[in-house]
Chains A and B, each alone.
Chain A
């Protein structure tokens, strides 16, 4: 897949949908395109986070370790972004991300991510929306888990 295709893909992601193409090109160009084999970890809970991942192809599981062992709390697939929390608020990784099958991602460094957010307030709003949605979802899941 070439840079231009990556830019098209990024544009379909709500987070980036309102950003001009040349900036998306910078984002894509300055990001590493990585392949994770099935079962490998994109990041591990507790590690220092320096990048977020945009999933281009495949799906990943989000796993949190609890006193009762690892619990799979969510899944992310194409066009989703994972790992952004650790780079947004300087906390260690809050979850482990595992590739469910071979996964293609764009690795966006913290530095680049901040530059984009700073420059495009619209992106910040999208991130807030995304985070809020996710919070709502995880809260729901938590409630269900507690009730069951």
Chain B
């Protein structure tokens, strides 16, 4: 990137800068006229000699008043013209600046994408993020005005000065007499501010780095009680920043003080000198007034120029500081990522290295002059102790790392010169901790297929116009014009011709990495939208029917589930669930505070339940207080069994002492609130408080009917009523199949029902459908809602799915349990028969199933051959085998 901001902006925005400058120059004649006119108005029209009138202008005769109004009209027009210039210039400046800011951010980000891997060891997220987001922000503003502002304001200044000198040179000279002092002083003061500014940027960057570290290392801080240490460090850093900022303020305001003082000297000279000249009669009054007005206007551009000077210095520092951070040694050219070869052939043929060397930061050769020839396709195990360089070798071979010396070739093709379009599609690498992106599980699984848009998005006319606009803007800012909305899924890469085939392949790969069961379980707990996935919903409804039938047919199962029935009370569901008889979406009803909901209260009143609920609430509260009063609030019993929190219990206790059970009806709605919601949380079969008797249950069934019948339209859509023949979109798939509650008090119920659901699903051939639903599971930021094992399996699956010619795995299954490890290794050895598989193993005995074994030590290959050849007395491989046992 260009070393200075001026070179950067002339390279990318020269035309706009010239146009802006030209506009500024063009506006000057009008500006001059604008200053000239008041003089004419006063001296000519108002105070002029009456004998000069009428005057002839533009072929018309004007009398004195007419002349005055004519001039004033012209004045008004000039005001408009000048403001129009200002408006247009400002907007155009903004546009230019924003485009340049966009370009700059894009370039910086695209550079991050090309950082050689080792760079990330030295540059932290905490530094990179603020540089791209906030630090460059002011640069956009500056770039827009870089040339135009000095020209425009400088020109304005010159126009006004010319005007002043033309009027009376002594006075004008007096007004600007002190400017040279400013010109001398300000840059010197500014230099000190600049130095401080640099210091400030550096300190703030470190600060954000430290904040990022604290967030990531939060558990360590708790474990070791170092919060005070961390706070002290933070305070110290803030202190340094404060000190620097405070000094900047002082310097800035010293500059401001000098500027303002010198500016105010102007009027002093006008009043004294100018006034004297008017008195002695060598200056007209009108001229003095115009001069004073002009001088006042002189202040604005002069101030602007000085402020611009400060901003310019600031922008120069920022630009240089940011850009220097984004130019690491060994960064490949942009074409490595953007080049799209006409055809991409498989990388077949021997994998060879010549003198391959990788040197780390302290100068050690972690991979040391390896010359190697592996005939492909074959499955190769690499073994060695930690630090033997095996992982580095795998990263070099897959071109994740660039070698310090030497090179890697496949079938005679040098990897170093290839674009990522080839290496990234024909090779794959998985390390110990594959990264999982935020989004769905499926989007991560298919992530490795999104190399380029394969099919355009179909826009309607309006949207197309918008898309064109966005495209043009992207082009104007040097951004990519590839459309994120297009279909990026390159099914060919996965060897699938249709979306169905791709899904099938995805499921097959999930099985290969032993992730299918887990995704299946996620799918069971997932939800689908029956509008868009009618087939799935229909299939689940079939499963519901089959499940119900099996429940009755199979011995001893029928009483393990209490099925939802609109005309029967469900003793294993809460009172609230019984009342609503549906699932709530959209937040219209808070299930924890049903007793305070006005509509629920209205329903209770209609069926005559208000008093009963009130009394049950009172009794429940009294029971809770009685039972839990002596239990410490943090006790597990409390958290597990009480349906009021410890704080609420305290409040209830006080409330109960104040209120008489016989006078509950006298309470206002607000006073009832603490107890009204309690009954709705009761599950009769579980809590056994004996309060929801047959009579109450019957009335609750009435309430259920009334609730559904009278539900106002505006909240009607937020409750999805339970219907044995309809799919409930807000409930999980499992709950949809179950369509009821597993009963309390039957210890075997959960296991047997779970098994029956699984059975029904596989009988109906729905397993894959549910795995697909599981693919929609949201994995959270960095996949945090998955276990580390699941993340790793997903990373492996992603690499297998795109069918690389050679798959490199560097201790990729270390974190998994041994059963999964064995399963995945067996599956991949089978999958990659006929292709290349190079696997860095953490235990030598795992090398058994491989065609060829490389043994590494201190960055060199010390032995190679088949497992049997190497497994002999005295070999390094035998040593590793022994230590693995």
A and B co-occur in one complex: yes
Residues of A within 8 A of B (CB): 1-6, 22, 25-26, 28-30, 32-37, 40, 107, 111-112, 115
Given contacts A33-B745, A34-B745, 5 further A-B contacts (CB under 8 A): A2-B690, A3-B690, A22-B626, A26-B628, A33-B744
Alpha-carbon distance A121/B652, docked complex (angstroms) = 31
A26 touches B637 (CB 8 A): yes
Q: A6–B637 contact, CB under 8 A?
A: no
Of all A-B residue pairs in the complex, the 9 with the closest CB atoms, nearest first, are: A2-B690, A26-B627, A3-B688, A30-B641, A22-B626, A34-B745, A25-B627, A33-B745, A34-B747
| In the complex, chain A residues whose CB is within 8 Å of the CB of B626 | 22, 25
Say whether B689 faces chain A, with CB atoms less than 8 Å apart: yes
Interface string of B732-754 (1 = CB under 8 A from A): 00000000000011111000000
- Chain A, Cβ-Cβ closest to B631: A26
Q: Which residues of B contact A (CB under 8 A)?
A: 556, 623, 626-631, 636-637, 640-641, 687-690, 744-748
Q: Which residues of B contact A5 (CB under 8 A)?
A: 690
Give chain B nearest CB distance to A145 CB in angstroms.
32
Choose one: A2, A25, A37, A115; the contact of B556 (CB below 8 Å).
A37
Query: Which of A6, A28, A30 interacts with B640 by CB under 8 Å?
Result: A30
Contact B688 A33 (CB under 8 A): yes
Chain B residues with Cβ below 8 Å from A30 are 637, 640-641
User: Are B688 and A34 in contact, CB atoms less than 8 angstroms apart?
Assistant: no
* CB atoms of B637 and A1 under 8 A apart: no
What residue in chain A is nearest B625 (Cβ atoms)? A22
Sample 22 A-B pairs with CB under 8 A, ordered by A number. A1-B688, A2-B688, A2-B689, A3-B687, A3-B690, A22-B626, A22-B629, A25-B623, A25-B626, A26-B628, A28-B688, A30-B637, A30-B640, A30-B641, A33-B744, A33-B745, A34-B745, A34-B747, A35-B746, A36-B747, A37-B556, A40-B748
Q: In the bound complex, do residue B687 and residue A29 qualify as a contact, i.e. CB atoms below 8 Å apart?
A: yes
Question: Which residue, A22, A107, A111, has most C-beta atoms of chain B within 10 A?
Answer: A22
B205 to chain A, nearest CB (A): 52
Q: In the docked arrangement, what's the CA distance between A53 and B744, Å? A: 16
| Bound Cα distance from A61 to B687, whole angstroms | 29
- Tell me the bound Cα distance from A37 to B745 in angstroms: 11
Shortest Cβ distance from residue B620 to the other chain A in the assembled complex, whole angstroms: 11
* A3 close to B689 (CB less than 8 A): yes
Separation of A112 and B636 alpha carbons in the complex (Å) = 9
Chain A residues with Cβ under 8 A from B689's Cβ? Answer: 2-3
Please give me the residue from chain B that is nearest to A6 by CB atom: B688
Q: How far is the CA of A29 from the CA of B641 in the complex (A)?
A: 8
Return chain B residues, CB-CB under 8 Å to A36: 747
Q: How far is the CA of A29 from the CA of B688 in the complex (A)?
A: 8
Contacts of A107 in B (CB 8 A): 747
Most central of B630, B637, B748 by chain A CB within 10 Å: B637
Which B residues lie within 8 Å of A28 (CB)? 688
Q: Count A/B pairs, Cβ under 8 Å.
A: 50
In angstroms, how far is the closest chain A Cβ from the Cβ of B622?
A: 11
User: B747 to nearest A CB, angstroms?
Assistant: 5
Shortest distance in angstroms between A58's beta carbon and chain B's nearest beta carbon? 14
CA distance A112 to B641 in the complex (A): 11
A140-B489 Cα distance, complex, nearest whole Å: 78
* Least Cβ–Cβ distance between A49 and chain B, in angstroms: 14
A6 to B745: give the CA distance in the assembly, Å.
Answer: 14
In the complex, chain A residues whose CB is within 8 Å of the CB of B640: 30
Complex interface: chain B residues within 8 A of A32 (CB): 744-745
Give Cα distance in the complex from A2 to B746, angstroms.
17
Nearest A residue to B748, CB-CB: A40
Given A26-B627, A112-B637, does the pair A4, B690 have CB atoms closer than 8 Å?
Answer: yes
Distance in Å: Cβ of B493 to nearest Cβ of chain A: 50
Residues of A within 8 A of B637 (CB): 26, 30, 111-112, 115
A33 nearest CB across to chain B (Å) = 5
Kindly report which residue of chain A lies nearest to residue B635, judged by CB atoms: A115
A37 to chain B, nearest CB (A): 7
Q: Which residues of B contact A22 (CB under 8 A)?
A: 626-627, 629-630
Closest to B627 in A: A26
Please, which residues of chain A bring their CB within 8 A of the CB of B745? 32-35
Q: Is the CB of B627 within 8 A of A29?
A: yes
Chain A, Cβ-Cβ closest to B626: A22
B633 CB → nearest A CB, Å: 14
Task: Report the bound CA distance from A36 to B749 in whole Å.
Answer: 11
Instruction: Chain B residues near A4: list those with CB within 8 A.
Output: 690
Bound state CA distance, A18 and B627, in angstroms?
17
Residue of B nearest to A28 (CB): B688
Shortest A146–chain B CB gap in Å is 36
Cα–Cα, bound, A32→B623 (Å): 17
Measured CA separation A36–B641 after assembly (Å): 23
- How many whole Å from B817's CB to the nearest CB in chain A? 22
Across the two chains, which residue of chain B brings its CB closest to A22?
B626
Chain A residues in 8 Å Cβ range of B690: 2-5
| Complexed CA–CA distance, A36 and B556 (Å) | 12
Instruction: Give B265 Cβ to nearest chain A Cβ, in Å.
Output: 86
Q: How far is the CA of A108 from the CA of B736 in the complex (A)?
A: 33
Contacts of A112 on B, CB cut-off 8 Å? Answer: 637
Instruction: Write out the residue numbers on chain A whose beta carbons fall within 8 Å of the beta carbon of B688.
Output: 1-3, 6, 28-29, 33
CA distance A124 to B637 in the complex (A): 21
CA separation between A14 and B729, bound complex, in Å? 53
B623 → chain A, closest Cβ, in Å? 7
* Least CB separation from A2: chain B residue: B690
- Across-interface contacts of B623 in A (CB, < 8 A): 3, 25, 29
Q: Given that A1-B688, A26-B631, A37-B556 are contacting pairs, would A111 and B746 also be in contact in the complex, using a CB cutoff of 8 Å?
A: no
Q: How far is the CB of A7 from chain B (nearest CB, A)?
A: 10
> Quick one: closest A residue to B747, CB to CB?
A34
Q: How far is the CB of A24 from chain B (nearest CB, A)?
A: 10
Chain A, Cβ-Cβ closest to B684: A2
Which residues does chain B contribute within 8 Å of A2, judged by CB atoms?
688-690
A47 CA / B747 CA spacing, docked (Å): 16
Contacts of A1 in B (CB 8 A): 688
Report how far A5 CA is from B556 CA in the complex, Å: 28
A82, B631: Cα distance in complex, Å: 26
By beta carbon, the residue of chain B nearest A42 is B747
CA distance A107 to B627 in the complex (A): 18
Q: How far is the CA of A26 from the CA of B630 in the complex (A)?
A: 10
Shortest beta-carbon distance, A84 to chain B, in Å?
Answer: 18
Q: Could you tell me the distance between the alpha carbons of A113 and B690 in the complex, rounded to whole angstroms?
A: 24
Residues of A within 8 A of B687 (CB): 3, 29
A106 CB to nearest chain B CB (Å)? 10
Give CA–CA (A25, B626) in the complex, Å: 8
Q: Which residue of A lies closest to B629 (CB)?
A: A22
* Chain A residues closer than 8 Å to B627, beta-carbon distance: 22, 25-26, 29
Q: How many Å lie between the Cα of A128 and that of B747 in the bound state? A: 29
